[in-house]
Structure 1
Amino acid sequence: MMFDLFLYTGLRRGDAAQVGKQHVKDGSISINTEKTGIRVTIPIQPELQATLDAGPVGDLAFIATAAGVPMTKESLGNAFRDACRSAGITKSAHGLRKAAATNAANRGATERELEALFGWVGGQMASLYTRSVNREALSKGAAAKMSRDERETSIPAPCDKVRASGRKTE
């Protein structure tokens, strides 16, 4: 449950500890983020919906203690870290937020889309995730423009001398 909630929402642990059924409407989670106060609306992906359907989930928070009480963000972070260590992984819940942002950027999310999804402002965080993806995509686009396509007639071959009139010189 914890893994899917972090990965498919990109929520910080404080927000993930609070999010529950009351935040879901029309297939999306809407919550004011704890850190910035910005409201994010996150469509529930099929993978997360399957996890929520399989349960168990708490009433006030999807992730709850055995007694059904929402966990504090510290307890949630510790529980996730313990689960990771049990699996032989030395990562944190925040690493899944980074993975979610990276996945979205790699699939074409713009900086504005990332800001809306993750509750960021100012473009700095979003640009971290889109910078390398954009550079690769832009590089591929630019390289394609350098290629001499047989259908393209406006770019002369390097050995051709063309006058302004467009006629070859000898």
Structure 2
Amino acid sequence: ADHPGLAGERGHQPSATPRQADYAFTVLARVVSWAFDRGLVLANPLERAGRLYRGTRADKIWTVDDEVALLAKASPELRLAFIFALYTGQRQGDLLRLPWSAYDGERVRLRQNKTGARVSIPVHSTLRQALETAPRCSPVILTNSAGRPWTSAGFSSSWRKLVKRAGIEGLTFNDIRGTAVTRLALAGCDHALISAITGHTMGQVGAILDHHYISRTAILADEAIANLEAN
């Protein structure tokens, strides 16, 4: 029999209204978002209503060997794209749209399309050299071999071919973003500094670095022993 405290007048189980369901989802989403931004959980499955979390690529990272292999096979256009991504930690879409007016010789300034976050990034000397030697044949910085702005499909196709020529498997262009986070951490940047450069939330930075904990600590351990031996 139905429990009298849980059943309606006619013995039916109570059901939530759409408004109640929306409210419950909103409350839960805020709780999960709060935890994610503070690095207490590795993912936020409620970031977009109606979609379940389908995995993360936070454990995918470009090694120095991958970088060397790719640059050895890259055209000047794709080489610039790789260096730009590695030294700014920005998404493919934002980089492909970035105009020369966003670069003043010292900093790159942009508003991220996905989140609306505004970032102002000091330009690393390696990136500055690449930008200063790149042809300015378009209002947009990254162009194809014909000097025209990349389409998303055209860039992705050329990138896949490059990765295949370089013998690299399991890595995408957008994995460079997580790689940038990891390298910034190895350089001594804390979560706040990394977030200011890449536009990630503090929780996202923490999640990426948690995935790379073993590889990061191994590198730091190597450096520590090398320092001991040097002294």
Fold match by TM threshold 0.5: yes
Contact 2:89 2:181 in 1 (8 A): yes
Report the Cα distance in structure 1 between the residues aligned to 2:137 and 2:87, rounded to whole angstroms.
18
Contact 1:29 1:44 in 2 (8 A): yes
Task: Give the structure 2 partner of residue 98 of structure 1.
Answer: 178
Q: Which runs of 5+ in 1 are unaligned?
A: 141-170
Report the Cα distance in structure 1 between the residues aligned to 2:168 and 2:136, rounded to whole angstroms.
25
Report the Cα distance in structure 2 between the residues aligned to 1:53 and 1:26, rounded to whole angstroms.
8
Task: Give the structure 1 partner of residue 32 of structure 2.
Answer: none
Matched, 1:46 2:102: no
Task: Give the structure 1 partner of residue 75 of structure 2.
Answer: none
Of 92, 95, 100, the residue aligned with 1:21 is 100
Percent of aligned pairs sharing the same letter? 25
Decide whether aligned partners of structure 1 residues 57 and 89 sit closer, same or farther in structure 2, where only a CA change above 3 A counts: farther
Task: Give the structure 2 partner of residue 75 of structure 1.
Answer: 154
Q: Deviations over 1:39-96 (max 9, x none)?
A: 1111111101111122234422221133432113333233222211111112211121
- Report deviation, 1:103: 0.1
Of 178, 183, 187, the residue aligned with 1:107 is 187
Count of residues in Structure 1 that have an aligned counterpart in Structure 2 = 135
SS in 1 for 2:85: helix
Q: Where does 1:133-152 land on structure 2 (aligned, <5 Å)?
A: none
Aligned CA-pair RMSD: 2.3
Q: Which runs of 5+ in 2 are unaligned?
A: 1-79, 222-231
* Aligned residue identity for 1:45: H
Larger Rg: 1
* Aligned residue identity for 1:50: Q
Contact 1:18 1:60 in 2 (8 A): no
Task: Give the structure 2 partner of residue 128 of structure 1.
Answer: 207
Report the Cα distance in structure 1 between the residues aligned to 2:108 and 2:166, rounded to whole angstroms.
29
* Aligned residue identity for 1:110: D
Contact 1:6 1:96 in 2 (8 A): yes
TM-score of the pair, normalised by structure 2: 0.53
- Report deviation, 1:101: 0.7
